[in-house]
Amino acid sequence: MRNKLIYMMIFAAFLAASCKKYLAVNDPNPNNPVSVTPDLLLPGALNKTVNMMTATSDGANLSFDFLGWWMGYWCVSGTYVPATIDLQYAEPNTYKQELWENLYHNINDYKNLENAGVVSTQPFYTGVAKIMEAYDFQTLVDLWGNVPYSQALRGTNLLLPKYDDAQTIYNSLLKQIDTGIVLIKSDMVTTAGGNDIMFGGDHGKWVRFANTVKLRILIRQSQVPGIQTLVTAELGTVGSDGYLMPKEGAYVNPGYQNSTGKSNPFWAQYGYNVSLATTGNNQYYKAATYGITFYQNTKDSRIGYFYAPSAVKSTKYLGGVFGDTGVPGESGIGGNGLDGGATIQDATLPTPSGLLQGSSSAAVLISSFESQFLQSEAAYRGWISGDPQALYNEAITESFEYLKVQSADSAANAYYSQPINNVNYAISTDKLQAIITQKWAALNGISMLESYDDFRRTGFPNDLPQSAQANHPFPRRLLYPQTEQSTNAANVPATPAKIFWVTQ
CATH number, domain of 211, equals 1.25.40.390
Do 80 and 183 belong to one domain? no
pLDDT band at 374 (very low <50, low <70, confident <90, very high): very high
So what's the pLDDT on residue 342?
42
Q: Is residue 53 in a domain?
A: yes
Do 204 and 325 belong to one domain? no
Average pLDDT taken over every residue of the chain: 89
Please say whether the beta carbons of 400 and 410 come within 8 A. no
Report the distance separating Cα 165 and Cα 34, nearest Å: 39
Query: Taking 50 as the threshold, does the pLDDT of residue 341 lie above it?
Result: no
Q: Is residue 281 in a domain?
A: yes
Domain range for 397 is 72-88+257-467
Query: Taking 60 as the threshold, does the pLDDT of residue 503 lie above it?
Result: yes
Do 272 and 153 belong to one domain? no
Helix (H, G, I), strand (E, B) or coil at 287: strand
Do 407 and 310 belong to one domain? yes
Do 299 and 390 belong to one domain? yes
Contacts of 304 (CB under 8 A, 6+ apart): 317, 335, 336, 337, 338, 339, 354
Domain count, the chain: 2
Report the distance separating Cα 376 and Cα 222, nearest Å: 13
Report the distance separating Cα 454 and Cα 443, nearest Å: 11
Beta-strand pair 163-164/250-252: unpaired
Alpha helices in 355-387, H assignment, sequence order: 368-380
Q: Is residue 67 in a domain?
A: no
Helix (H, G, I), strand (E, B) or coil at 252: strand
Give pLDDT tens digits for 83-134.
Answer: 888 889 999 999 999 999 999 999 999 999 999 999 999 999 999 999 999 9
Among the residue ranges 213-227, 331-345, 456-470, the one predicted with the least confidence is: 331-345
Distance of CA 328 to the CA centre of its chain: 27
Q: Is residue 29 in a domain?
A: no
Q: Is residue 248 in a domain?
A: no
Q: Is residue 251 in a domain?
A: no
Q: Is 239 left (phi over 0), alpha (psi -120 to 50) or beta?
A: left
Give pLDDT tens digits for 60-69.
Answer: 899 999 999 9
Report the distance separating Cα 256 and Cα 258, nearest Å: 7
Report the distance separating Cα 378 and Cα 157, nearest Å: 42
Q: Is residue 410 in a domain?
A: yes
